Amino acid sequence: MRTPVVPIRVLTHNIRHGGSDLFKGELPWDERKQLLLNEFEYETRYCEESFICLQEVLHEQLSDVVAGLNQDIYPGASEWAYIGVGRDDGHEAGEYSPIFYRPSVWQLAHWETVWLSKTPNIPSKSWDAASIRIVTIGVLQHRKSGHTVLAMNTHLDDQGSRSRLEAARIILGKIHEYSQNDLSNLISGIFLAGDFNSEENQEAYQELTTSLLDAYKQVPSPRHFGDYITWTGFGYEDEPRSRIDYVLVPKEGPRQRLKVAGYAVLPNQFDNGVLSSDHRAVVVDFIL
């Protein structure tokens, strides 16, 4: 009997932490959060198999996203859960890089947080990193088809070039590990989402794409929706705007049957002029 084809949508968005140190042009989290919640709901409403990968999420923001996603769910829809921890203590302190999924659709088989440092099992930073950095990893089995996905979400350092390079190597090492361990025979597809703080000509992107493919480049340009730029700032920063948010996948093979079907970069500003974040969301559609 033929295994059913599964459509999967991955949305990745750095939502800008909800701290009090606001940039010029930035509004507080309470004034931005509904715009982001509306984005998540709209983009995942009719794809039950969606994953939402967020970066720079403080615990209060995480609670708001959980509550918002699960409020006033339309008839027949499923509730959302997440995997992830605060990077500073492995519990609730510091920024999360959570992965949201629907437990009625995906059965969580395993998950872990890996610190992108010389001591990956404990909260830590190494090399020239300005902040503690993590990758959240989940192995989730699609309940109807039995397909299993290795989902990864990360946020690399904004200051340390060496740390971004070493973090990319750690991430590739984890993908290799999962391709060899006891879960390897289950895995049907792998994706890595996140804010890499690295443009195409820089260290992390260059290292990661030695083994992985950029979803952006797997869809012909005329079929892209939205903009190219993913980091916009709030309008007053000195740095040039850039593409630093990605979804990457391995080349097709026995453990990679995810095929890229669509690519989009969503707007982060509408008629009211409020920037929901200093990043735009990237949305990639897959067929498994």
User: Can you spell out the DSSP letters for 92-128?
Assistant: SSS-B--EEE-TTTEEEEEEEEEESSSSTTSS---TT
Contact predicate 187/149, CB 8 Å: yes
Give backbone dihedrals phi and psi of 238, rounded to 5 degrees, phi first. -80, -30
Residue 52 counted as domain residue: yes
pLDDT band of 1, cuts 50, 70, 90: very low
Could you tell me which residues come within 8 angstroms of residue 177 by beta carbon, excluding any fewer than 6 positions away? none
Residue 1 counted as domain residue: no
pLDDT value for 3: 62
Residue 2 counted as domain residue: no
Residue 225 counted as domain residue: yes
pLDDT higher than 80, residue 18: yes
pLDDT value for 2: 56
> Domain span at residue 176?
7-287
CATH code of 46's domain? 3.60.10.10
Residue 14 counted as domain residue: yes
Number of domains making up the chain: 1
Give residue for tokens 């940039």: 23
Residue 79 counted as domain residue: yes
Residue 127 counted as domain residue: yes
- What pTM does this model have? 0.96
Buried (b) or exposed (e) across 251-284, using 16+ Cβ within 10 A? eeeebbbbebbbbbbbebeeeeeebbbbbbbbbb
Alpha helices in the chain (DSSP H): 29-44, 59-69, 161-178, 203-208
Give backbone dihedrals phi and psi of 112, rounded to 5 degrees, phi first. -155, 160
Whole-number percent of the chain with pLDDT over 70: 96
pLDDT in tens, 60-113: 999 999 999 998 665 556 699 999 999 999 999 999 999 999 999 999 999 999
| 236: its two tokens | 């007053």
Span 52-63, average pLDDT: 98
* Long-range contact set of residues 40-47: C-beta below 8 Å, sequence gap at least 24: 40/11, 40/65, 40/68, 40/69, 40/100, 41/68, 41/69, 43/9, 43/11, 43/266, 43/281, 43/283, 44/9, 44/11, 45/74, 45/77, 47/7, 47/8, 47/9, 47/285
Span 145-155, average pLDDT: 96
Span 236-242, average pLDDT: 93
Give the chain's mean pLDDT: 95
DSSP three-state, residue 141: strand
Contact predicate 57/98, CB 8 Å: yes
